[in-house]
Amino acid sequence: MKTSELTRKLIEFDTTNPPGNEEKCIRHIGSLLKNAGFHTDYYYFAPKRPSLIARLLPPATATLSQQLPICFSGHVDVVPATASDWKHPPFKPVISDGKLYGRGASDMKGGVAAIINAALSLNQHRLKRSLILVITAGEENSCQGATHLAALPEKPLPEVGALLIAEPTSNYPYLGHKGLLWLKFAVRGKTAHSSMPAEGENAILKAARLLLQLEKYDFNSSPHPLLGAATLNPGTIKGGININSVPDYAEFTIDIRTTPNLSHQQLLNDLKNHLNKDVEIEIIQNETGFSSDPSHPWIQQVFSLCQKYQRSTKQIKAEGISYYTDGAVMKRACGEPPTIILGPGEPHMAHKVDEFCRLDRLEQATEIFLKIMNNWCLQF
C-alpha cells in the first residue's frame, strides 16, 4: 500500500479533538503492525482514547548490537474542521493536483502513515537493534497521550538511542521546539452604576493597564541559538456583566513560548514582581521545550539523508520550530536521546481549511524514514 493510500485511510477515521475518539484509528494501525510481527500494547488515558506502543525485536538467532533502540512517534488526533468551509469534506480525502486533501493530511496522519509504511518495509530478518513506534492520542490538547505514557509507573517508554517525531516539516529536519507557558490573569474591582464610575473600581481598565505593561515585557534573555527569542501573546480577554455597570472582574490569558535557557519558575516569579500585587495568576499549561546537539553523529547522518530531498540548494542547518509537539515529553521520558522533528506535512497547512499534504513528500518521507531505520536497526 502506498503511503498516500494509508494516509487516506487514516484521515477517514474522524479523530477530531475534542472529543478525540482515536480508538478505531489506533487499533487499525496496531493491527497492521501486529500482523507484520510487531508486539503491540495499548494504553488508555480515557475511554476510547488509547496510545499505541509497538515494538519490533531482533530475531532470537540474531547477533545483537548493544546499542539502544530507535523510536519513531506521531499522533492521530486532529483539530476540528467545519465541513462547510472546505472544498471537499474534511474526512473524505481527495487527491487533486499532486496533493492529498483532508483534515490531518499534514498534521499529522501523513507523517504517521510514512512511519508505518517504512516500518513495514524493514527487513526483519537482518534486525540487530529494536525499533519502537509510539502512536499517541490527545496531542492537540496538552500532549495528553504522551504525558500519560510518561507518567505510568510501569514505564512503557524505554530509554532509546534516538527519537524522531514526524510532525509536519516539509521533510526538513528540525532540532527542537519552544516550550509553552499559558497563564490566566484575574483582576478584581468594585461594581457601581456606570453613570457614577468614580463610585466603583473598573476591573477592565485595570486589566488593560496590565496588558500594556506585558506588551513591553523584557524576558532579559539572549535569543537561543536554535529557537530564537521567547514570545508573549495575549489570547483572550473578558469581563463585565452589562454595559451600564462598572465591572468588578476581568480576566485575560497569555501564551508565552519559551526557550530552553529560560526557567519557567523564574519567569513566573518575575512576572509577579513586574505586575501589580492585586492580580491573580493561574497556570493553565506549563511545558518546557527542547533542543538537540547538532554535532551528534546521528543528527548529522539524518541531515545528510534529507539534503537530497530538498527542493532548493540550501544547505540543511541546525534550526528549531516554534510550535509545540510530543517531542519534549517523549525526549524526557526516553532518557534525553538526540531528537529530530521531521515529517512530510506542510507546516503552514496545519489546522487550516483545505489542509493538504503533497503526494511526493509522503513517499519521500517513507524513503527517508526507511533509510534511517535501516542505518540504525540493521547495522551491527
How large is the average pLDDT for residues 52-72?
Answer: 89
Residues 247 and 355 in one domain: no
Regarding whether 328 and 297 lie in a shared domain, the answer is yes
Q: How many CA atoms lie within 13 A of 21 on its CB side?
A: 9
Same domain assignment for residues 107 and 70: yes
Query: Are 143 and 230 contained in the same domain?
Result: no
For 57, 174, 259, 320, the CA distances from 70, given in Å and listed in that order, are: 11, 17, 26, 21
pLDDT in tens, 78-118: 999 988 889 999 999 999 999 999 999 999 999 999 999 99
Same domain assignment for residues 261 and 274 = yes
Q: Is the pLDDT of residue 311 over 90?
A: no
Report the CATH number that the domain containing residue 54 is assigned in CATH. 3.40.630.10
Task: Check whether residue 206 and residue 167 sit in a common domain.
Answer: no
Write down which residue in 234, 258, 287 finishes a domain. 287
Please say if the pLDDT value at position 301 is more than 90: yes
Statement to judge: residues 136 and 29 lie in one domain = yes
* CATH number of the structural domain spanning residue 226: 3.30.70.360
Q: How many structural domains is the chain composed of?
A: 2
On whether both 158 and 267 belong to a single domain, the answer is no
Q: Within this chain, do residues 105 and 127 fall inside the same structural domain, yes or no?
A: yes
Residue 68 pLDDT exceeds 80: yes
Whether residues 21 and 154 share a domain: the answer is yes
Residue 202 belongs to domain spanning: 179-287
Q: What value does the mean pLDDT take over residues 173-198? A: 96
Of the candidates 68, 184, 54, 182, which has an alpha carbon nearest to the alpha carbon of residue 122?
54
* pTM for the whole structure: 0.92
